[in-house]
Amino acid sequence: MSENSPAPVVAVLGLGAMGLPMAARLASRLTVHGFDIAQARLDLAAEAGVATFPSGRSAAAGADALLLAVRNGEQLHDVLFGAEGVASSLGPGAVVILTSTVGIEAVRETAERLADLGIGLVDAPLSGGPLRAGHGDLLIVVGAAPEDLAKARPVLVLLASTLTVVGHHPGDGQALKTVNQLLCGVHIAAAAEALALADALGLDQATTLEALNAGAAGSFMLGNRGPRMLAAYSDGGAEVLSRLDIFVKDMGIVGKAARAAGLASPVAAAAEQLYLLGHAQGLSAHDDSAVIKVIAPTRRNPSEASAAR
């Protein structure tokens, strides 16, 4: 986009925990159309300068770019091509910017269907929570044709502090995010196992966490999820910043990708089982740090800890 080109009109469908701060951030510089099924979210979006619409189709009509954050490939298909699908409201030359982790094949299939309508797909899965989204501090990896990326760049640069182009085809961004999620899922599971072992050995978990973070065993996930793992045992549990069922989905994507590539992934498979057990135990809507309770449903009390020494 040249300096003299008009700023794109962006439609954001879904104004939830991530969609609203992203829409508000974009509205500070661009014209943004927004839609959500909840009137309260529409009201908040309007206060942030977003033009709100009564349907996804009306929000998408005339937009140059459509920003989507969906749960999975099925929801992606439904939003674009279902009974109330919005793809037909976008004109040729528009781009869909997908920020979710839905898997390589789902993105490639969607890109082919959109291409038949003259619409590009920018595969741009992101990392970072709502606070970072509102400040334009997200980490975004991109797989897209150069001409589609050029159209989406004014949107992406407002949202990302780190924008990495990993390939020229939709699905390339998903591939890198899949690798990323393998590490994240394994690191969370390993942190949970380590802190559960510390408790079983009679160690104070908070002291253990502080010591581990200061040494070679420290990791981002241990430092970030560790305190929330300790809070998971409280009456209210840890604050939900990333639901456990996200890793049920994402580790499933990891396993599918590894099998398709003919690659063994035994550590990822073991971690996936912990998230699946958490789902079966009713922890899906809990923070992913609650996976520690799959390994150790309760903490040992001080007398039990002393007896274990």
Residue range 265-284, pLDDT digits in tens = 999 999 999 999 999 999 99
In terms of domains, do 65 and 165 share one?
yes
* pLDDT band, very low/low/confident/very high, at 6 (cuts 50, 70, 90): confident
Task: Read off the pLDDT of residues 195-253 as tens digits, 9 standing for 90 and up.
Answer: 999 999 999 999 999 999 999 999 999 999 999 999 999 999 999 989 999 999 999 99
Does 3 map to a domain? Answer: no
In terms of domains, do 150 and 198 share one?
no
- State the CATH number of the domain containing residue 218: 1.10.1040.10
Give the pLDDT mean for 121-148: 96
| Gap between the Cα atoms of 37 and 90, Å rounded | 20
In terms of domains, do 163 and 31 share one?
yes
Give the pLDDT mean for 97-113: 97
Least confident range of 13-17, 218-222, 265-269, 301-305: 301-305
Does 117 map to a domain? Answer: yes
Which of 134, 169, 204 terminates a domain? The answer is 169
Does 148 map to a domain? Answer: yes
Res 180 pLDDT > 70: yes
Which of 169, 201, 225 terminates a domain? The answer is 169
Res 302 pLDDT > 80: no
- pLDDT above 90 covers a percentage of the chain that reads 92
| Residue 67 CB contacts under 8 Å (≥ 6 apart), including other chains | 10, 11, 12, 13, 19, 22, 23, 26, 97, 99, 155
Does 2 map to a domain? Answer: no
In terms of domains, do 180 and 301 share one?
yes
Does 138 map to a domain? Answer: yes
CA 68, 70, 73 angle in degrees (round to 5)?
A: 115
| Residue 12 CB contacts under 8 Å (≥ 6 apart), including other chains | 19, 22, 23, 26, 32, 33, 34, 35, 50, 59, 67
In terms of domains, do 151 and 199 share one?
no
Q: What is the pLDDT of residue 306?
A: 43
Q: What is the pLDDT of residue 181?
A: 97
In terms of domains, do 53 and 201 share one?
no
Res 4 pLDDT > 60: no
Q: What is the pLDDT of residue 300?
A: 85
| Gap between the Cα atoms of 55 and 301, Å rounded | 54
Res 304 pLDDT > 60: no
- State the total domains in the chain: 2
Which of 123, 143, 169 terminates a domain? The answer is 169
Residues with a catalytic annotation lie at 177
In terms of domains, do 96 and 120 share one?
yes
End-to-end CA distance of the chain, in Å?
66
What letter represents residue 127's amino acid? S
Domain enclosing residue 46, as ranges: 9-169
In terms of domains, do 149 and 180 share one?
no
CB 244 within 8 A of CB 275: yes
| Gap between the Cα atoms of 67 and 77, Å rounded | 14
Does 181 map to a domain? Answer: yes
Does 4 map to a domain? Answer: no
In terms of domains, do 83 and 181 share one?
no
Half-sphere exposure of 89 (CA within 13 A, CB side): 22
Q: What is the pLDDT of residue 301?
A: 61
In terms of domains, do 104 and 194 share one?
no
* pLDDT band, very low/low/confident/very high, at 129 (cuts 50, 70, 90): confident
- State the CATH number of the domain containing residue 146: 3.40.50.720
Give the mean pLDDT of the chain: 94
In terms of domains, do 240 and 213 share one?
yes
Rounded to two decimals, what is the model's pTM? 0.90
| Gap between the Cα atoms of 144 and 152, Å rounded | 10
* pLDDT band, very low/low/confident/very high, at 2 (cuts 50, 70, 90): very low
CB 285 within 8 A of CB 245: yes
Q: What is the pLDDT of residue 305?
A: 44
Does 236 map to a domain? Answer: yes
In terms of domains, do 108 and 67 share one?
yes
